[in-house]
Structure 1
Amino acid sequence: MRKRVLFMLISMNVGGTERAFLNMLHELPEEDYDITVLLLEKKGGLYQELPQHVIVQEMKDFPHIGRQLSYNPKEKIKAHLSKRRYKQSLFLFVLHSYMKVTKDRRILFKNVFKKVPILEEKYDVAVAYAGPMDIITYYIANRVKAKEKYQWIHFDVKEIGFDHRFARRMYRLFNRIFVVSNTAANHLKEKLPTLSHKIDTQTNDIPALTITQLAEKEDVFPASSIIRIVTVARIMNEKGPDIAVKTLYELRKLGYNIQWHWVGEGQWISHIKEMIQEFELEDSFILEGSKSNPYPYIRQSDIYVQPSRHEGYCLTIAEARALKKPIVSTATAGAKEQIKHGETGLISEINEPELLRNIIKLIKNPDLRTKISEALQEENNKNSIPFHSKEWSAHYYSSSKKEALFNKMEKEKQCNKGSIYS
């Protein structure tokens, strides 16, 4: 019997979470699953890449809920008082006073969601995939009927704003909690020790053969002696675009003929454009915009650099590894799990001087770049980049299905020695 599975995400904007989700979808056999994707907003650069057999729905109540959860209570109370809505202002005062005393935000969510209906459909599995995201967590926990419920965590909770009290009270309603790296999983266990038994690591899927094929689809750079650095990431604080601009400025001051290509968009784009102008890097720090296929940029780079302040796993590092590119990354949780410093890449402290030093090390040492690429090729041949986690697939496949999948993967290994399945 086909299993009914619901995944809930924010949108299908171009990002690591959404790419990892698409990779997972493509590995769930259509004949075994009826899949529904529920989005807060039906939009995004990767929206058209959702498989045709997937049912896509939108949470119609999200605009109202988003506003209700983000308002400033003091301003809202003042607004009600100015219009002589005394009952509403008293209610909000009591509500937020209770939250302040108990440190329990669930009462706010319960009030905001009170008119949001429970989904009529029943599912075998419901997944709060874009996490931590409180609206999605609350909706899956309280407005979806499913035999099992899974929470996904794509970030290192030690490095982001994370309401562990809310999470502890909500995550207990889920059967399993999947985190994208071991380090991030351990940090979550430290925050939620009573739920440690539910927490498992599930690294993001990497379809290496597909990535290699997509990377060969076009040439995005002309032949040149310019050293090309590429980063694929959203333009926002956590990804460190400001660190990248300052590092490039120092590289140019030292006389290196370099262009840094940043593939992605985001909230900080105006700020970064101002920085690029301030440092007079208009011709050397190139904002490429969002690309549904960023792999040709990675393939044609001389060095792939990830200057993030924090990462749960970092899918783009895994993709650069699949394409055998010399990598310099800051010392995030995901990078430290994926890169062996000095062997399959270089890991830098999260600051401009250290990032600069490691980039220069690769620029001045082409033999080291070759050594890293060869080590990544050997790693690929050993199939050591994760493709499909046993923990996750155990919930999706019966013994016979798992055996069939294993046999299929073994055949693919023999046919595609350059692939990275495991």
Structure 2
Amino acid sequence: MKHILFLMPAMLNGGAEKVLIDILKNFEYSKYYVTLLLETEDGPYIDDIPQQVKLISFHKKSLWIERLYRYLSMFGCKRLAYFFLCKLPLLWYLRRKHFDTIISFMEGMAVKMHSYVFDKADRNISWVHIDLKKKHWSLDFFKNYEEESWCYKKMDNIVFVSQDAKNRFRELFDIDEDKLKVVYNLIDCDEIVRLSQCKLVCKKKFTICMVGRLNQQKRYDRALEVAIKLKNNGYDLEFWVLGDGELKTELKNEIYRLGLQDNFLLLGFVKQPYSYINQADIFFLCSESEGFSLVVCEALCLGKPIVSTCTSGPTELISKSRGGIIVNEDIDSIYNGLKQMIDNKSFREECSTNAVVFSKTFNVQETMQRIYDLI
């Protein structure tokens, strides 16, 4: 039986965490013994970790850890913080342990953790969920670019959730092409459709649904600009925003300033947003950077016409599915794209049909087999 170790900082409300849960739920535990090691035992997906998975964590809550990291970093002690809060406990928990494969399932902190324990596995693999060339957020966890590059060069394989994410990574790092693999996120379309029927969601008017953390990457400021422009041009719509994050207060204030209290609704984080997506008329994504976009796949499964900015993942998915349109990142392009989808019912219906047809290509067994082949 092979012993696999997954490394993650926490199980917060992000797409990578959701994908990891879906993978763990589909593992063949008769063949694999799986351990999940978290820096902090925190996040809404903690309760979804299958019972067969051995869970290890250094700390119980992330808030004080984040504050301590930030405090020490202010005084130039970031490396000291990583040593005492991460490296030391990691080596302690994994003392005298050896694994067939260690997988850092996210950029940044997970790779930093991985760098401390390369010698504890026969194979080392890392997942990349985003276009790192466009948004190189992971560099914050390393001393410099060279240190991060060294970590990736130590991996036996680096897995990307889209071809575009892989191509952009190659523009950043000089890594052997043979090491780089593309594995689309695991999408259980039948389960998504089933869960979309489990909750009654009432809709008052034409609705545009958005799902994602309330952070800079998702660019909800663009959505607000487009929402007020649509309102000023006579459109009576609702935007449903499902997510939570550090920009919540700022977005609330901006919604109030623009007078969009009845049009732009922050509905909070919803672990299973499928009923909301299913009831909406359009699914909308205005991010500045994505890797694959799990929520776009979920919208495709539910036959929702999609309007998305031109980022990795959504561009790839929508061009293949013809389930929506890709727009440039300026406000006029986003506005015109949404307006076209709102105004043209027959086009929405065509996109919806294409989305459902394309979603049939998602295959849980094939995705899991590709993962087994890697590990």
- Structure 1 equivalent of residue 142 of structure 2: none
* Number of aligned positions between the proteins: 363
The answer as to whether partners of 2:189 and 2:362 remain within 8 angstroms in 1 is: no
* Equivalent residue for 1:252, pick from 231, 255, 264: 231
Deviation at 1:143, TM superposition (A): 3.1
Deviation at 1:343, TM superposition (A): 3.0
Alignment of 1:31-50 (within 5 A): 31-50=30-49
Alpha-carbon distance between aligned partners in 1 of 2:84 and 2:70, rounded to the nearest angstrom? 14
- Structure 2 equivalent of residue 198 of structure 1: 179
The code of the aligned residue for 2:5 comes to L
Q: Taking structure 2 as the reference length, what is the TM-score of the superposition?
A: 0.89
Identity of paired residues, percent?
A: 25
The runs of 5 or more residues in structure 1 that have no matched partner are 78-91, 97-104, 397-422
Deviation at 1:301, TM superposition (A): 0.5
The answer as to whether partners of 1:130 and 1:136 remain within 8 angstroms in 2 is: yes
- Structure 2 equivalent of residue 401 of structure 1: none
- Structure 2 equivalent of residue 286 of structure 1: 265
Taking structure 1 as reference, are residues 342 and 35 closer, same or farther at Cα in structure 2, changes over 3 Å only? closer
| Residue-by-residue CA offset, 1:322-351 (whole Å, 9 max, x unaligned) | 111000000001111100289320111112
The answer as to whether partners of 2:87 and 2:113 remain within 8 angstroms in 1 is: no
Deviation at 1:72, TM superposition (A): 6.3
Taking structure 1 as reference, are residues 341 and 8 closer, same or farther at Cα in structure 2, changes over 3 Å only? closer
The code of the aligned residue for 2:112 comes to Y
Alpha-carbon distance between aligned partners in 2 of 1:324 and 1:114, rounded to the nearest angstrom? 45
- Structure 2 equivalent of residue 177 of structure 1: 158
- Structure 1 equivalent of residue 127 of structure 2: 152
- Structure 1 equivalent of residue 324 of structure 2: 345
The answer as to whether partners of 2:41 and 2:60 remain within 8 angstroms in 1 is: no
- Structure 2 equivalent of residue 211 of structure 1: 192
| Residue-by-residue CA offset, 1:367-389 (whole Å, 9 max, x unaligned) | 001111111222234x2578616
The code of the aligned residue for 2:40 comes to E
Alignment of 1:359-374 (within 5 A): 359-374=338-353
- 2:141 corresponds to 1:142: no
Alpha-carbon distance between aligned partners in 1 of 2:117 and 2:362, rounded to the nearest angstrom? 39
Give 3-state SS (helix, strand or coil) of 2:5's partner. strand
The answer as to whether partners of 2:237 and 2:263 remain within 8 angstroms in 1 is: yes
Alignment of 1:14-413 (within 5 A): 14-60=13-59, 70-71=70-71, 76=75, 115-116=88-89, 117-118=91-92, 119-120=94-95, 121-131=97-107, 133=108, 135-143=109-117, 145-161=120-136, 162-163=138-139, 164-222=145-203, 224=204, 226-340=205-319, 343-381=322-360, 383=361, 388=367, 391-396=370-375
The code of the aligned residue for 1:45 comes to P
Give 3-state SS (helix, strand or coil) of 1:340's partner. helix
Deviation at 1:66, TM superposition (A): 5.9
Taking structure 1 as reference, are residues 177 and 328 closer, same or farther at Cα in structure 2, changes over 3 Å only? same
| Residue-by-residue CA offset, 1:206-260 (whole Å, 9 max, x unaligned) | 01011111111012124x4x10110011001100111111111111111111000
The runs of 5 or more residues in structure 2 that have no matched partner are 140-144
Deviation at 1:394, TM superposition (A): 1.1
The code of the aligned residue for 2:341 comes to L
The structure with more radius of gyration = 1
The code of the aligned residue for 2:100 comes to D
Taking structure 1 as reference, are residues 35 and 384 closer, same or farther at Cα in structure 2, changes over 3 Å only? closer
Give 3-state SS (helix, strand or coil) of 2:126's partner. strand
The code of the aligned residue for 1:173 comes to K
| Residue-by-residue CA offset, 1:143-165 (whole Å, 9 max, x unaligned) | 36111111111111111235432
The answer as to whether partners of 1:156 and 1:333 remain within 8 angstroms in 2 is: yes
Alpha-carbon distance between aligned partners in 1 of 2:266 and 2:182, rounded to the nearest angstrom? 34
The answer as to whether partners of 1:181 and 1:313 remain within 8 angstroms in 2 is: yes
The answer as to whether partners of 1:203 and 1:313 remain within 8 angstroms in 2 is: yes
The code of the aligned residue for 2:33 comes to D
Alpha-carbon distance between aligned partners in 2 of 1:12 and 1:108, rounded to the nearest angstrom? 21
